[in-house]
């Protein structure tokens, strides 16, 4: 038996936020945002006015940082406990949505500890106190439709992907006007994050007839529209907002793979700065495809993707190579680094990496061990647990250059 779960309602298109007037009858809405972009764009005011018109009292929790911390989550849960909302609304990028999901857990179950929910499908039953509404401002994370929340424990410098169908939002609102405000670099990173979601979902060991069409159509839309969106085409930007949501529906049910495992565990691991999640996925994806293609079924599915987006090739190997080449071409056009070696501040191509090579090599074994233990590793088509490798081989041996350096470096 398998399960396929999506939000109960998904509102999309122009002025989709107006549909939240249907929340009439609820009493209090706790709103979670990140920085100031939702305020500056007038979207927060619009949301608050709609909720107040529906008869809800509102309280704002702001300042959720990129890669939200356990401490931020606990502060938010405490604020929720004081306000006692029956609706939780997050508007913004993946970080405030992920943080709000985790706050929701600790609001409904204050006795629960963070360590209790690190493992997949260990979150206790929710919706005893509140329902959850998600309104994305970026086109990539798809947290508005997924059973995932990524929270960082900065004491260990490890990102934990919390995974449970309980934290799938009840209502998702995709208003294209909000996504049209994204900066260019964010458009690139979130777009390749969405592409990674769709490709990993399609080759996941848990893919099924319900997730495959979503993943394939998302890949096609992203391939056709991401560069146009990056260059300022707002029609393409609107399409990307839909495409990333389709990718989210696919991966929330099919799960992901080791691209995400490594992005989670390298993201906050180094003193030189964060490796931005979307950029990390974009860098690692072509390398992981090459690695996974040693599995015949995975190679065949990568070839299907290549055919679906009209890439050249008559054999499976040619089609897989064409897909890898196309993704690398997209990264270059979007100013996304090839590897950590040329990862500049903010996730752009640079001659000098912000990550120190000595520190990278010193932490290689530990980071790789953490990546292998990540929740996303289990659904990858090639499992490092089934191969007789040293703990560091996932990041090192599998991507070794002839110079003996890791290609991730």
The pLDDT of 169-181, averaged and rounded, is 95
Which of 231, 226, 185, 187 is CA-nearest to residue 344?
185
pLDDT tens readout for residues 99-148? 999 999 999 999 999 999 999 999 999 999 999 999 999 999 999 999 99
The pLDDT of 383-407, averaged and rounded, is 49
Indicate the class that CATH gives domain 9-179: alpha beta
What is the model's pLDDT at position 408? 59
34-38, 249-253, 383-387: range with highest mean pLDDT: 249-253
Domain boundaries, the chain: 9-179, 184-399
Task: Tell which CATH classification among 1.20.1070.10, 1.10.540.10, 1.10.275.10, 1.20.1090.10 matches the domain 184-399.
Answer: 1.20.1090.10
Q: Where does the pLDDT of residue 286 fall: very low under 50, low under 70, confident under 90, or very high at 90 and above?
A: very high
For residues 66 and 213, which has the higher predicted lDDT (pLDDT)? 213
Please indicate whether the domains covering 9-179 and 184-399 agree at the CATH topology level.
no
Percent of the chain with pLDDT over 70: 94
């Amino acid at each position: 038996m398998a399960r396929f779960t999506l939000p109960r309602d998904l509102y999309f298109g122009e002025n989709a936020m107006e549909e939240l007037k249907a929340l009439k009858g609820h009493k209090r809405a706790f709103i979670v945002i990140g920085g100031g972009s939702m305020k500056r764009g007038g979207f927060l005011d619009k949301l608050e006015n709609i909720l107040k018109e529906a008869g809800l009292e509102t309280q704002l929790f702001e300042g959720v940082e990129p890669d939200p911390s356990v401490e931020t989550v606990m502060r938010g849960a405490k604020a929720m406990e004081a306000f006692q909302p029956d609706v939780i609304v997050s508007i913004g990028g993946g970080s405030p949505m992920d943080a709000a999901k985790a706050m929701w857990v600790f609001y409904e179950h204050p006795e629960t500890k963070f360590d209790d929910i690190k493992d997949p499908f260990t979150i206790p039953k929710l919706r005893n106190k509140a329902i959850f509404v998600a309104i994305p401002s970026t086109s990539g994370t798809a947290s508005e439709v997924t059973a995932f929340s990524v929270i960082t424990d900065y004491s260990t410098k490890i990102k934990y992907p919390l995974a449970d169908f309980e934290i799938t939002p009840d209502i998702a609102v995709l208003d294209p006007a909000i996504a049209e405000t994204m900066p260019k670099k964010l458009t690139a990173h979130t777009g390749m994050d969405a592409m990674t979601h769709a490709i990993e979902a399609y080759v996941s060991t848990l893919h099924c007839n319900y997730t495959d069409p979503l993943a394939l159509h998302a890949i096609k839309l992203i391939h056709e529209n991401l560069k146009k969106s990056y260059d300022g085409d707002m029609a393409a930007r609107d399409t990307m907002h839909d495409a990333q949501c389709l990718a989210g529906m696919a991966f929330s049910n099919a799960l992901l793979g080791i691209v995400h495992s490594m992005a989670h565990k390298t993201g906050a691991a180094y003193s030189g700065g964060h490796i931005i999640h979307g950029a990390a996925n974009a860098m690692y994806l072509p390398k992981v495809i090459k690695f996974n293609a040693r599995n015949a079924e995975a190679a065949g599915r990568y070839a299907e993707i290549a055919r679906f987006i009209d890439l050249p090739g008559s054999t499976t190997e040619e089609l897989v190579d064409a897909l890898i080449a196309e993704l690398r071409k997209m990264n270059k056009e979007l100013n996304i680094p090839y590897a950590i070696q040329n990862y500049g501040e903010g996730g752009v191509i640079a001659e000098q990496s912000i990550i120190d090579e000595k520190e990278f090599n010193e932490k290689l074994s530990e980071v790789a061990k953490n990546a292998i233990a990540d929740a996303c590793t289990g659904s990858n088509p090639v499992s490092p647990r089934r191969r007789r490798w040293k703990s560091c081989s996932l990041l090192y041996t599998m991507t070794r250059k002839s110079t003996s350096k890791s290609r991730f470096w």
